């Protein structure tokens, strides 16, 4: 069942993850690349769990049970550790790219020069007083702009990311995200993005991304 509230699954009006348009440089996650849904569903459960964890004040017996379950999960995964290029985490072509570090981006338009979509910061991303933690917003912008900067282009890395926090970013509500590729000068690529709650601008970003030279990590 792929019923994550944050929408890790493919479909439901959102385009796929779109990661296939970004260079994966020798990446091979085997069976999960061919059929991403089971792995994406597992990550969606992990996301939902993190939201419930962040939102709960459980009694001690529940704390002990949860600790034991999580230790079991960790043990199950310990036997299957692999090198970076074989890890599905963050590399599957689904919204959220099957990772639970930054919130899921559900993009409705993804083109070489711009992208539009929605994102919801769940309870896990709370800073205080109903507002998202200030570090999570650049994280989300780096996802949008880093991916846009490499869409149908050679790989690049973030050189700087400037974020202006214009008003609080509320958690648990759907926000709109837009990104646009502004210009490139040699290896330098300049992009901008905006995060809105209805008509209110929550935050804006400007990023410089540098095309990597062959062999550059
Ligand atoms: C690409 C990997 C992806 C592969 C995997 C894909 C699978 C997953 C799919 C999708 C996920 C995508 C979602 C997330 C993506 C997010 C991306 C990131 O967050 S990357 C991590 C954070 N960034 C770093 O760690 C960079 C660390 N810095 C460096 O490596 C270097 O400093 C680098 C590459 C940025 C530049 O170094 P130089 O040696 O190649 O180039 P120089 O000569 O220094 O700069 C080139 C030009 O840029 C200017 N420049 C460089 N840094 C600048 C700065 N901070 N401010 C202003 N100008 C700067 C310079 O002045 C120079 O300009 P003049 O050509 O002389 O006009």
The response to whether residue 159 sits with its C-beta less than 6 Å from ligand 1 reads yes
DSSP H helices, the chain, are: 31-34, 37-55, 60-78, 136-150
| pLDDT tens, residue by residue, 83-119 | 999 999 999 999 999 999 999 999 999 999 999 999 9
For residue 159, which atom of ligand 1 is closest to its CA? Answer: 35
Burial group, residue 153, by CB count within 10 angstroms (0-12, 13-18, 19+) = middle
Q: Using CA atoms, how far apart are residues 1 and 5, in angstroms rounded to an integer?
A: 12
Q: Are 174 and 108 in contact (CB under 8 A)?
A: no
Please tell me the CATH code under which domain 102-211 is placed: 3.10.129.10
ipTM of the complex: 0.92
Q: If you average pLDDT over residues 71-76, what whole number do you get? A: 98
Distance CA 208, CA 162 (A): 9
- What is the per-residue pLDDT across 11-28, written as a single tens digit (0 to 9) for each? 334 555 455 445 456 789
Ligand 1 proximity of 21 Cβ (cutoff 6 Å): no
Does the Cβ of 186 fall within 6 Å of ligand 1?
Answer: yes
Exposed / middle / buried, residue 28 (Cβ in 10 Å: 0-12, 13-18, 19+)? exposed
pTM over 0.95: no
Ligand 1 atom index nearest CA of 90: 8
Nearest-atom index, ligand 1, CA of 23: 6
Task: Tell me the CA–centroid distance for residue 55 and ligand 1, in Å.
Answer: 36
pLDDT at 10: 39
Q: Whose CA is nearest to atom 23 of ligand 1?
A: 158
Give dist(CA 51, CA 174) in Å, integer. Answer: 15
Is 203 within 8 Å of 137 (Cβ atoms)?
yes
Q: Whose CA is nearest to atom 8 of ligand 1?
A: 91
Residue 58, φ and ψ in degrees, nearest 5: -80, 155
* Ligand 1 site, residue 188, Cβ cutoff 6 A: yes
**pLDDT tens-digit map of 166-176:** 999 999 999 99
**Domain map of the chain by residue range?**
1-101, 102-211
């Amino acid at each position: 069942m792929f019923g994550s509230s944050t929408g890790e699954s493919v479909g439901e009006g959102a385009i796929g993850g779109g990661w296939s348009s970004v260079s994966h440089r020798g990446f091979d996650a085997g069976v999960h690349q061919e059929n991403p849904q089971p792995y994406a569903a597992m990550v969606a459960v992990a996301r939902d769990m993190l939201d419930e964890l962040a939102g709960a004040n459980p009694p001690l017996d529940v704390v002990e049970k949860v600790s034991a379950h999580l230790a079991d999960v960790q043990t199950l995964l310990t036997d299957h550790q692999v090198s970076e290029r074989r890890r599905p985490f963050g590399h599957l072509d689904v919204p959220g790219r099957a990772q639970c570090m930054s919130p899921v981006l559900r993009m409705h338009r993804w083109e070489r020069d711009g992208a539009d979509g929605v994102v919801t910061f769940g309870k896990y991303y709370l800073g205080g007083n109903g507002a998202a933690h200030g570090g999570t917003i650049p994280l989300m912008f780096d996802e949008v702009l880093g991916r846009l900067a490499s869409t149908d282009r050679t790989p690049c890395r973030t050189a700087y990311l400037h974020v202006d926090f214009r008003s609080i970013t509320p958690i648990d509500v759907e926000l709109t995200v837009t990104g646009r590729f502004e210009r490139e000068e040699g290896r330098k690529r300049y992009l901008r993005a905006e995060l809105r709650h209805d008509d209110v601008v929550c935050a804006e970003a400007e990023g410089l991304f540098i095309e990597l030279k062959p062999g550059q990590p």
